[in-house]
Structure 1
Amino acid sequence: MAETKQGPPLHVVVFPWLAFGHIVPFLELAEQLARRGHFVTFVSTPRNIARLRPVPGRELSPRIRLVGLPLPAVDGLPDGAESTNDVPPEKVELLKVAFDGLAGPVASFLAEACAGSAGGEGHGRRPDWIILDFAHSWLPPVAEQHDVPCALFLIFPAPFVAFLGPKAANDAHPRTAAEDFTVPPPWIPSASPSLAFHLHEARPIAGRFRQPNASGTSDMDRFWETERRCRLVVCRSSREVDGPAICDLLPDLYGKPVLPLGLLAPYDAAAVAAHHGAGAGDDDDGVVMRWLDAQPARSVLYVAFGSEAPLTPELVREVALGLELAGVRFLWAFRGAAGGGGAGLLPAGFERRVAGRGVVRVGWVPQVRVLAHAAAGAFLTHAGWSSLVEGLLLGHPFVMLPLFGDQGLTARLMAERGVGLEVPRRDDGDGDGSVVAREDVAAAVRRVLVEKEGEAFARVAKELQRLLLDRERQEGYVDELAGKLLQWRHREKAFQESKLL
């Protein structure tokens, strides 16, 4: 491998939190760094490593080393559970207990990796950087013992990173009541009113914001401690989509470099989908694709709520009956509850009544391939950032039904951008407006996919698609990150050499 102007290729350790919504963007980042000639050691647990998609291309795979560290057993955590996809929401805190048990194995791995020479090659070179996730508060102190700097990669867009804010800002403006999260934080000047949660979303956020879970700490305290000890922060964001003002605010807010990384859109998967034989194959995927082949162009609503969404029987019932009421063609990738299938959640007789115009596929669906199909016309989604990025890349307007985490805030900002609608919720008598009604699902679906208003949403979706299809600009963000990592190594090396003079 030819050396760059600032020395040999980097060796970067990449270590995401144990959730595939985190693992997949971290893997995409690993591949982007490998494309630039750097070497990456990707760390997770054995089962998660086994479930990764193959690294594409003969040139990339030798540059990405996969390391699986066994997850310690924890009472109450199901056997074989190694990601949030394997457990119901109430067990995720036990997964954090097990994750903290990786501190010893990671320390041993890092000590062994750092025993290599700084002049070594490839994965034999001592790590130049560790790129880690929000939950790794115990890792930066270990890395500091070996003089390996850490960078925090947040898989969220810039507005949510700003909404979270650093510890100093939260200490100056404490948020303790749910209502505190229903307005933009005071440290974001001239913030859009959309940069806020609804009350039913804010209540669980406020309850968990600083409250320790079974691991003995809260998610926010993990995040703040990790961020405090990292040299720089990176977020899955771009100035073109999130706006330059919010991206430029982050370095001043956090008091350190905060780089947008681009949206890490699945360009390769989209290219493969565009050239794939649409209905090829006799497997289940082929059956789905052939059904899409038989539908008119841009007529099908693709419905998917991710693999970890907390679906309740009530919500599934109202979404199903809303789709029935809307009268549109749809393909529903139905995953049920976290860690299970859950087809029994569907209303009795639903699949029979929608037969011909609606397909419910229980289990995994090739989402990018479906969204790339000419029959796909809109996307009913929980507004998870990865799903939104895939929908934007393939030019689809959204019907958004946020379910947890950052999704409500992101859905509101996307609706404000004009790329779709959020399904409104009704008051359940508790005053928090949490109820999903079939009539509202049907109305939102028809407004986006059927009625004249949908043309405006589709037009904005195509405008945003053009921004993402400017691959050179999007990948320029990764170039900037790689340049920063190289510059930091060069500066650290010069500093260490000066101490020897």
Structure 2
Amino acid sequence: MEAAAAPESVTQGGGLEVVVFPWLAFGHMIPFLELSKRLAARGHAVAFVSTPRNLARLQPADGVRFVPLPLPSVEGLPEGAEATSDVPPDEVSLLKKAMDGLAVPLAAFLAGSAGRRRTDWIIVDFCHHWVPPIADRHKVPCALFMIFPAATMAFWGPRWANAANPRTEPEDFAVPPKWMPFPSTAFFLRHEAEWVAGSFRANSSGVSDAERLWEIMERCRLTIHRSCHELEPGMFALLSDLNRKPAVPAGILLPCHEEENNQSSSSSSQALRWLHDKPPKSVLYVALGSEAPLTRENIHELALGLELAGVRFLWALRKPVSTAGRNDYDGELLPAGFEERTLGRGVVCTGWVPQVKALAHAATGAFLTHCGWGSTVESFAFGHPLVMLPFIIDQPMIARAMAERGVGVAVARNESDGGSFTRDGVAAAVRHVMVEDQGKILAANAKKMQELLVDQPRQDQYIHDLVDHLRRYKDA
């Protein structure tokens, strides 16, 4: 692949005007912002649209203009809830319903922007099925940016492929789809498949996630993916054929840990200080994201598994958001005496921990993760082997792909009871990665992946090629 070219605004006489509009989840907003930064750094004007509270929780970026659109109130949605991390999993569909109410203010924003110069593109997320009709009225093309692996998109497939090969029951999703022409880890075990089956059914927003995605895919001019050929060879050609439009990799969009989320706290500083005097590669960093549907039993089994494993650990534990009217997490969250028994070799931080900085620290040697794509991508930057504990969406599929690549080990799950896990299973997976000889092979494989993917000229070229597509297809 060629080295990165000069900024497009220099080589081709002027930048693009781009509106970027992610779904209301930080796992989406952060990669959308990373894409925005790279476009802005090349001389393109970027307006980043979200709600006021979400924008206040993001780090401003040079050349990226934040555009706040107040989120309408919806019955049942807690006041002030503007992101998926603010609500329990069973209320996320209400957040989609509230987001659908942004159609009028978005149209007003586009109309107000018309006086400056025409917007060249609107880059939207999987759930903005109502944006293309608004964009059409303003003669602005749409692109769909998917923050999931390209294999996830191929698994979902377009409407026509699903009509030709109907999938209605969980077992239908337990094998790769018939349109996948090569062996793949793109399938769900039975205890994982209920979620994906549910995405094809209407939720309390009135629209299924599959319908949202299909409407956008059918009306956008191209799809953009947070991935690359090195990670998913052959997948972009397949997606281009399936969706009958270009599928363009944007690279892995690694965040810079010097500019990580502007949240700060004494607990995050304390957590990083705790790492400073630990031997190199001796600490397991543990983080399951902000949306894992953890029960008290899950948390206790994970804690007791870490205790049994006997390794150093830094656990970024976010207290799950409880459903309104329930008190699932009143009282002590951790097992009695756990912190005292692990004092000195482990620390649990319930405040904000800057994940990329924790992963970048010399003391960190492995990552116990839910295998959300954002966290998995961040692990690539530092060559860490993975202990994998997936829960929802495409996390189990990503975990299987990482296991196949030899960079991680999954915690054993009980498929017969919906995927429970035990402290013994946690301890066995942790020791496999951190203590046993096999862990050295996993670490070596992870290091090779780091060397392959953390190649700045190669990643810059993906953005250059993306901009070339945006220029070529904006007037198609």
What band does the TM-score fall into relative to the shorter chain?
A: over 0.9
Distance 1:209 1:73 in 2: 24
Does the 8 Å CA contact 2:48/2:65 hold for their aligned counterparts?
Answer: yes
Aligned to 2:212: 222
Distance 1:2 1:90 in 2: 44
Distance 1:342 1:12 in 2: 45
Distance 1:343 1:303 in 2: 22
Residue 155 (structure 2) pairs with residue 163 (structure 1): yes
Number of corresponding residues = 462
Aligned to 2:299: 316
1:189-225 CA-to-partner distances (Å, cap 9, x unmatched) read 1222x3211111102221x132111111101100000
Q: 1:9 aligns with which of 6, 15, 25?
A: 15
1:85-139 CA-to-partner distances (Å, cap 9, x unmatched) read 111111111111111111111111111112x2xxxxxxx3221000000111111
Residue 458 (structure 2) pairs with residue 479 (structure 1): no
Does the 8 Å CA contact 2:387/2:410 hold for their aligned counterparts?
Answer: yes
Aligned to 2:424: 439
Percent identity (aligned): 56
Extract unaligned runs of 5+ from structure 2. 1-6, 324-328
Aligned to 1:295: 278
Distance 1:334 1:283 in 2: 15
Q: Indicate how the Cα distance of structure 1 residues 143 and 347 shifts in structure 2: closer, same or farther if over 3 A, else same.
A: same
**Displacement, 1:2?**
9.2
Counterparts of 1:124-135 in structure 2, within 5 Å, are: 124-135=116-127
The DSSP-based 3-state class of the residue aligned with 2:332 is helix
One-letter amino acid of the counterpart of residue 30, structure 2 = V
Aligned to 1:450: 435
Comparing 6-15 with 129-138, greater Cα deviation is found at: 6-15
Q: Indicate how the Cα distance of structure 1 residues 68 and 282 shifts in structure 2: closer, same or farther if over 3 A, else same.
A: closer
Distance 2:81 2:350 in 1: 21
Residue 56 (structure 2) pairs with residue 50 (structure 1): yes
Q: Indicate how the Cα distance of structure 1 residues 126 and 344 shifts in structure 2: closer, same or farther if over 3 A, else same.
A: farther
Q: Indicate how the Cα distance of structure 1 residues 437 and 321 shifts in structure 2: closer, same or farther if over 3 A, else same.
A: same
Counterparts of 1:155-234 in structure 2, within 5 Å, are: 155-192=147-184, 194-206=185-197, 208-234=198-224
Q: 2:407 aligns with which of 409, 416, 419?
A: 419
Distance 1:241 1:323 in 2: 31
Query: Which one has more relative contact order, counting CA pairs under 8 Å at least 6 apart?
Result: 2
The DSSP-based 3-state class of the residue aligned with 2:230 is helix
Residue 26 (structure 2) pairs with residue 20 (structure 1): yes
Distance 2:418 2:72 in 1: 40
Distance 1:95 1:282 in 2: 27
The DSSP-based 3-state class of the residue aligned with 1:318 is helix
Aligned to 1:278: none
Q: Indicate how the Cα distance of structure 1 residues 38 and 168 shifts in structure 2: closer, same or farther if over 3 A, else same.
A: same
Distance 1:397 1:305 in 2: 15
Aligned to 1:390: 378
Aligned to 1:120: none
Distance 1:39 1:304 in 2: 35
Aligned to 1:58: none
The DSSP-based 3-state class of the residue aligned with 1:153 is strand
**Displacement, 1:38?**
0.4
Residue 236 (structure 2) pairs with residue 247 (structure 1): yes
**Displacement, 1:433?**
5.0
One-letter amino acid of the counterpart of residue 28, structure 1 = E
Q: Indicate how the Cα distance of structure 1 residues 455 and 106 shifts in structure 2: closer, same or farther if over 3 A, else same.
A: same
Distance 1:259 1:74 in 2: 36
Does the 8 Å CA contact 1:9/1:37 hold for their aligned counterparts?
Answer: yes
The DSSP-based 3-state class of the residue aligned with 1:369 is helix
The two structures, once aligned, show a CA RMSD in angstroms of 1.9
Aligned to 2:326: none
**Displacement, 1:380?**
0.2
Q: Indicate how the Cα distance of structure 1 residues 253 and 432 shifts in structure 2: closer, same or farther if over 3 A, else same.
A: farther
The DSSP-based 3-state class of the residue aligned with 2:321 is coil
**Displacement, 1:7?**
4.1
Does the 8 Å CA contact 2:281/2:366 hold for their aligned counterparts?
Answer: yes
The DSSP-based 3-state class of the residue aligned with 1:240 is coil
Distance 1:272 1:67 in 2: 20
With structure 1 as the length reference, what TM-score do the two structures score?
0.89
The DSSP-based 3-state class of the residue aligned with 2:303 is helix
The runs of at least 4 aligned residues of structure 1 exceeding 6 Å deviation read 339-343
| Structure with max Cα Rg | 1
Q: Indicate how the Cα distance of structure 1 residues 35 and 81 shifts in structure 2: closer, same or farther if over 3 A, else same.
A: same
Aligned to 1:499: none
Distance 2:473 2:153 in 1: 24
Does the 8 Å CA contact 1:233/1:258 hold for their aligned counterparts?
Answer: yes
Does the 8 Å CA contact 1:231/1:256 hold for their aligned counterparts?
Answer: yes
Q: Indicate how the Cα distance of structure 1 residues 339 and 479 shifts in structure 2: closer, same or farther if over 3 A, else same.
A: farther
1:412-470 CA-to-partner distances (Å, cap 9, x unmatched) read 0001000011111024xxx3551111111100000001110000000011001111221
**Displacement, 1:289?**
2.2
Does the 8 Å CA contact 1:6/1:486 hold for their aligned counterparts?
Answer: no
The DSSP-based 3-state class of the residue aligned with 1:487 is helix
Counterparts of 1:100-139 in structure 2, within 5 Å, are: 100-114=100-114, 116=115, 124-139=116-131
**Displacement, 1:338?**
3.2
One-letter amino acid of the counterpart of residue 241, structure 2 = D
